[in-house]
Chains A and B, each alone.
Chain A
Amino acid sequence: MDTLDSTEMRAFRREVRDFVAANLPKPLEQRCRQGFHPSKEDMREWTAILHGKGWSAPHWPTRYGGTGWSPLKRMVFDIELAEAWAPAPSPFGLHLIGPVIYTFGTEQQKERYLPRILDGSEFWCQGYSEPNAGSDLASLRTAAKREGDCYRVNGQKIWTSQAQFADWIFCLVRTDNSGKKQNGISMLLIDMHSPGVTVKPIITQDMDHYVNEVFFEDVRVPAENLIGEENAGWRYAKFLLENERTSSAYLPQAKQDMKRLRELIDRMRDEHSEGIDDEALDTECAALEIEVAAHELAIYRILTDNASSQADTAASMVKIQGARLQQRLSALWVEVLGMHGLPLFQPHREHDFGDPAAMGAMSQFLIRRAVSIYGGTNEIQHGIIAKRGLHL
């Protein structure tokens, strides 16, 4: 039976903490503490450092560069990193396409792609959603037509995170229109630098640029970039989701937020006792501490439950709850800041005025409205629980 309290686990935590303390560059730590999104350079740098220690992809099988740790130990690892203000690496290579490649890919694909995901040198993005295929993903229409040893790709993706700097995109494309929608979809790996690929930014309500439209106009993709079999893409897409049941639940981030919030409240209380003396804030903060603990244990249940008959529904539950926590924690963060919460970044960024922890607060609060939308909306997740869990 797994436990959090063994001597081994404690020693492991200490080892991780010491490693981060010794190796996380100060500017990265500082930006993470203040709540900024990690930049491409931050992610690259930190992934390379973790890779040096053999820790960049703990969840991968050891023969591809993973660690062989248990799921619980991996989660403990992620929490330690987050609580030590390490930036989260880009998930698209390490968490999403990496496992698909080592499970379904050819030897050639494994050799070509995995090492560069592992050391952080290549970035990936996920090309699933389209203007008319959001929640109803299977309606996607971006078409790939086989022509000799190539596919010719035409169509449009939308909401593609990090496409502006990704080297590769893993795309769901339509290769057959004849039968059931799900059965005519394939997964292709497309070089973002190919002729015919255009990326257009979309600015989100925090006035930042994470998401994009990606257009494909007669893009030629070598047939060897197909994952597995043609028309079996839906299966790989489902595998990809199921493989990472708990990473979309944002537990490490929730724990990091809680820590940040506590530190902020304590500091404000030390410096200016009166404004922060607010029972209503304390009550919400206390309620959130309890919520985070429940979330943590719900996730540990998933990670340690071998029977896992209820696995998809539990995954949907922690996705919903994780999104709520992301939103409630950032709302409280902004609320604690009072008037300092009102600007997006300035003037704190330029003039170091107000609380330094204020800097990324409002922008985080705003972008986190998307957490209950991407990766399957809260409504869709509730539908999954009702259908697959409650058999309604």
Chain B
Amino acid sequence: MSDAMAQRRPLALGLSDDERQLQDSIERFIDHEYDLMRRRAALAEGGDDPALWRQIAELGWLGACLPETDGGYAQSPKEALILLEQFGRGLVLAPVLDAMLVPSAILRAAGQGEREAGLLMAMMSGERRLALAWAEPGRRYDLRPLTTQARHDGHQWRLQGTKATVLGAPQADTLLVSAATEQGSVLMRVPADAPGLSMTSYLTIGGQSAADLFFADVRVADDALVASAESAGAALQAGWDWGAAGACAEALGAMRAALTLTLKYVDTREQFSQRLSRFQVIQHRLAAMALELEYSQALLPLLTAHLDQRGQRSSAVIAGVRSRISAAARMVTGDAVQLHGGIGVTDEAAVSHYFRRVVALDQAWGGHRFHLQRYRQQRRDHDLIHA
């Protein structure tokens, strides 16, 4: 028991007053200022809504997501998860996870918080955005870099290789790039406009912009090294844990909204001279969806308890929770589409946006099967809560 406590934060069930206040204000903002039209407009602009990003920063929510050690005012990862959950519910297209949370988690885990204090402040004020470039062509979720290589020529670092589907890269001013060296994997900070760096940008099905990056002898100074071979593996894992966990919070909000939409729809749509909600088959399906939602929500505190805690056990718990929530989110949003019938698979229908968002969140940070496998490999004991 005490061992487990040492490895994680105390489990906080429910919300504190401050947390509830934050949640209420985000909820209000979304209900008044955000809708599918605004999302569509951002999609038409390549997945970016710079005015929204400024607004979110001015409201202080980016700062609310980062811990005090980074200059923010989060008491725990919960504030960030609250924001993501609400953004998931509202289909808000803003790269909080990719441009802020994942990169800052990496800087933190690499012990760069102090050195990068200026950068972190600029991120919280919405001026700067980062992106993590980890994936390489054809290598799925292998975190170890191989085809992107860095070599020190005595004066500077020189980077060569490719990265695939880097979320948020087209809007980032700085990239955190994993690269292989003779000593092992490292993480480098590379300006997006560095000579020799080119990218192909596109939209993902979740609405985010992404790019494939090509490094042709990109040169960066010594101080671009964010994490050396000793610390890069753990730093990358910390960032990934945030990605996987944050995606769960967002998926949770999306599931809830998709369920709400479906409840409304089946209560108005009539076939065979009755409302769809009168069919028991449909009632049971909705009940099963509600159960999945409830169980996903129940698991969330484990994420808060384990994020930013170093060590394999925390990563394993996050993977386990992720596998459960990810599977549930796919099921719930998939069934929501099914219960809408033909209209459910159209771009016009909000429910298809929730489904696509959930699929993208699953795909971007490893799906339920992948994380179940990770959990199985890394778990230490049979009890995720008490050890």
Q: What is A's interface to B at a CB cutoff of 8 Å? A: 129, 132, 134-136, 139, 158-159, 202-205, 207, 211, 268, 271-272, 274-276, 278-281, 284, 334-344, 346-347, 350-351, 353-355, 362, 365-367, 369-370, 372-374, 377-379, 382-383
Is the pair B341, A274 in contact by a Cβ cutoff of 8 Å? Answer: no
Q: How far is the CB of B177 from chain A (nearest CB, A)?
A: 15
Report the Cα distance A54→B164, complex, angstroms. 47
Report the Cα distance A370→B347, complex, angstroms. 13
Given contacts A274-B144, A275-B140, contact A341 B352 (CB under 8 A): no
Given contacts A134-B271, A275-B138, A374-B342, 10 further A-B pairs with CB under 8 A are A134-B342, A204-B346, A271-B138, A272-B146, A280-B372, A342-B363, A355-B138, A366-B345, A369-B337, A369-B355
Q: How far is the CB of A266 from chain B (nearest CB, A)?
A: 13
Is the pair A370, B345 in contact by a Cβ cutoff of 8 Å? Answer: yes
Q: Which residue of B lies closest to A370 (CB)?
A: B345
Q: How far is the CB of A34 from chain B (nearest CB, A)?
A: 16
Which of chain B's residues 175-208 have a Cβ closer than 8 Å to chain A?
A: 200, 202-206
Given contacts A338-B140, A339-B164, A347-B202, contact A134 B341 (CB under 8 A): yes
Q: How far is the CB of A69 from chain B (nearest CB, A)?
A: 35
Q: How far is the CB of B253 from chain A (nearest CB, A)?
A: 19
- 12 A-B contacts, Cβ less than 8 Å apart? A204-B347, A272-B146, A275-B139, A335-B367, A339-B141, A340-B137, A340-B165, A353-B200, A355-B137, A374-B342, A377-B338, A379-B279
Q: Which residue of B lies closest to A365 (CB)?
A: B359
Report the Cα distance A204→B343, complex, angstroms. 9
Report the Cα distance A265→B298, complex, angstroms. 36
Given contacts A205-B347, A339-B135, contact A373 B369 (CB under 8 A): no
Q: Number of residues in B with C-beta < 8 Å to the partner?
A: 48
Residues from chain B with Cβ under 8 Å of A370 in the complex? 342, 345
A-B contact count (CB 8 A): 149
Is the pair A203, B348 in contact by a Cβ cutoff of 8 Å? Answer: yes
Is the pair B369, A284 in contact by a Cβ cutoff of 8 Å? Answer: yes
Given contacts A275-B141, A353-B137, contact A362 B205 (CB under 8 A): yes
Given contacts A278-B140, A342-B360, A347-B212, contact A373 B367 (CB under 8 A): no
Report the Cα distance A340→B135, complex, angstroms. 9
Which of chain B's residues 354-386 have a Cβ closer than 8 Å to chain A?
A: 355-356, 359-360, 363-364, 367, 369-370, 372-373
Contact of B140 among A276, A342, A372 (CB under 8 A): A276
Q: Which residue of A lies closest to B349 (CB)?
A: A205
Residues from chain A with Cβ under 8 Å of B202 in the complex? 343, 346-347
Residues from chain B with Cβ under 8 Å of A204 in the complex? 345-347
Q: How far is the CB of A359 from chain B (nearest CB, A)?
A: 13
Report the Cα distance A369→B373, complex, angstroms. 26
Is the pair B138, A268 in contact by a Cβ cutoff of 8 Å? Answer: yes
Given contacts A205-B346, A205-B355, A339-B364, contact A344 B138 (CB under 8 A): no
Residues from chain A with Cβ under 8 Å of B273 in the complex? 136
Is the pair B363, A336 in contact by a Cβ cutoff of 8 Å? Answer: no
Which of A271, A272, A334 lies at the interface centre, i.e. has the most chain B CB atoms within 10 A of its CB? Answer: A272
